[in-house]
Homo-oligomer: A and B are copies of this chain.
Amino acid sequence: MDLQKIADEIVVSLQPRLGEGKVADYIPELARIDPRQFGIAITTVDGETFKAGDADTSFSIQSISKVFMLTLALGKAGEQVWKRVGREPSGSSFNSIVQLEHEHGIPRNPFINAGAIVISDMVLAGHAPREAIGEYLRFMRYLADDETLAIDEKVAQSEQRTGYRNFALANFMRGFGNLDHPVEHTLGVYFHQCALALSCVQLSHAGLFLANRGTNPLTGFSVVSPKRARRINAMMLMCGHYDGSGDFAYNVGLPGKSGVGGGILAIAPGKASIGVWSPGLNKVGNSALGSAALEMLASRTGWSVFGT
């Protein structure tokens, strides 16, 4: 299987659709991005990276960070994590507060905003926000084996100023006793984790441990146990694309996590970690071309977890 050829063909076939979808506009800093960009990077478990298009351009990973923060939180609190956040798809949009009221402040899963904020609160664990953000950044550099990774402070500030919905969610959960820290601290961590800038190549490296039984084959570092890697993949498949998770499973068939910056991390267990990026989003908030690219990739490689 010639992965380079597949990547190149995907870029060519998406060329006419560049600009499709709608760039996220609720974070002012992200609204300015040129939508006519697309990149893909495939890193296999034996350490080879294949890339095409704008695969080295940095973008804001936004909600993709939730996968890495969940990994950190599981490392700190183990299965206790699930006392404060559920594991079920939400059946509603990424920032809905309705279910939170019906279920008394326990978010449905760690990948909707409410759940991710609880996870940030767990990673914070009594430390200053600056320290938790530092820990996250070190973890990401370690995963991607790249010391140049950085958080885009402007994006973080932009969200801090306009993220009313997230302030609402956090205060709401604090009212139910499901946040341990001042709302400003927890959200400080949350906004910064989202503002990490990665390229498709870096993203595919950072997620590679999930494709390889919890160990990063680039560095040999063991990140999580094989069982935990499977479980994180399961959460990604079930809840990684908000209210488009079913569609993504149906059409692509790979665990994946999207962000409103237009990136998607997808995992082919035992095979590869894939980073795609294109800023235009579909109706449920996932990268339109990114989803299309992964559908093509899964179809050509036969990597769907649901059968060949």
Contact = CB atoms under 8 A, between A and B. Distances in A.
A171 interface: yes
A307 B171 contact: no
A253 B234 contact: yes
A304 interface: yes
What is the total number of copies of this protein in its complex? 4
A168, A171, A183, A229 interface centre (most CB from chain B within 10 Å):
A168
Contacts of A229: 306-307
A180 to B, nearest CB: 13
Contact of A90 (B91, B230, B255, B305): B91
- Report the interface size class on chain A: 35 or more
Contacts of A24: none
A175 B88 CA distance: 26
Interface of A: 86-92, 96-102, 108-109, 164-165, 167-172, 174-175, 183, 210-211, 213, 226, 229-231, 233-235, 237-239, 243-247, 249-250, 253, 255, 269-270, 304-308
Contacts of A183: 164, 167
Given A165-B172, A171-B171, A246 B88 contact: yes
